[in-house]
Amino acid sequence: MNYIVFDLEWNQSPAGKSREVKRLPFEIIEIGAVKLDKNRVIVDTFHSVIRPVVYKTLNYRTREIVHIDKEELENGERFPDAVRHFLAWAGPDSIFCTWGSVDLTELQRNLKYYHMLSLLKGPMHYYDVQKLFAVQFEDMKSRRALEYGIDYLHIEKEGNFHRALEDARYTALIFQRIDMDVVLAYDSIDVYQNPKKKTDEIFIIYNGYSKYISREFPCKEEAMQDPEVRSTYCCRCGRKLRKKLHWFSVNARNYYSVSICPEHGYMKGKIRMKHTDEGRVYVVKTIKVSSEAEANLIRDRRDSLRDRRRQKRHESP
């Protein structure tokens, strides 16, 4: 088993969002990766520059951030060739690691555009080194830039940021400094290839919280009518809980609830509505150990939202 720490650089429509290809808003132009063995020792590297075919001109933001010249791109590989080489180099038993959650999603979206998504099976467990850094060194919630992490750990800077191989190497150096018990306790799940049927739904218990990832639904209203989506269970003992505050929406995507476990106290529930590329909906639900003070804050938020909505209805003609 190996760890594959990878980073991507991508381009987007130089004419703005209105002219982008909806199936491919971000076109990968560079893959960089570092391979670590089971002891997290660096054993190999991979690098490929990819010739763009959808957005052949670099967007101005890409030009500012990614220091890659026109000649490099023109001499780059085709994406189908580059990604096959990358996945063959990575090997079938490797675990992906990234700084944040975006790169793995965009890799799959590019694969899907080229009808190659079958090369990666999902949903996928991976390690989000950005999250692991926050758990190990900060407050668990913060999400820092890669350069911040390098500076925080006093790692020597030997190359420019925002080139795929260098960013992958920096991410690997941070990953080596994360305690292994933290790594194993806080893996992540990429759900770009989300569960399609009930038997594929995901239930996982972590340290202090649980996660449920549902199958697809036609719309969020139908999702919120599903008994499994609405249910809450203690993330410590698995007991089905009585709700103190039933699910309420704070916006079009997020819902909250509060429940009580007789043994383990308050549990805060959060539902996030996720949309597939095809416009269907699935749910990511987390249940976390909470406190009475936090429960009261959630109640205050619900009451404030109700008051504002009631006032808005009265003001409508």
Q: What is the pLDDT of residues 146-184, one digit of tens each?
A: 999 999 999 999 888 889 999 999 999 999 999 999 999
Burial 15-30 (b: 16+ CB within 10 A, else e): eeeeebeeebebbbbb
pTM of the model: 0.86
36 and 175 in contact (C-beta within 8 Å)?
yes
Structural domains in the chain, CATH included, are: 3-185 (3.30.420.10), 195-315 (3.30.530)
Q: What is the pLDDT of residues 239-279, one digit of tens each?
A: 999 999 999 998 889 999 999 999 999 999 999 999 998 89
4 and 94 in contact (C-beta within 8 Å)?
yes
Q: What is the pLDDT of residues 271-307, one digit of tens each?
A: 999 999 889 999 999 999 999 999 999 999 999 998 8
Q: Tokens standing for 303?
A: 């009451």
* pLDDT of res. 17: 84
270 and 254 in contact (C-beta within 8 Å)?
yes
* pLDDT of res. 60: 80
Sign of CA dihedral 79, 84, 87, 89: negative
d(C-alpha 165, C-alpha 86), whole Å: 13
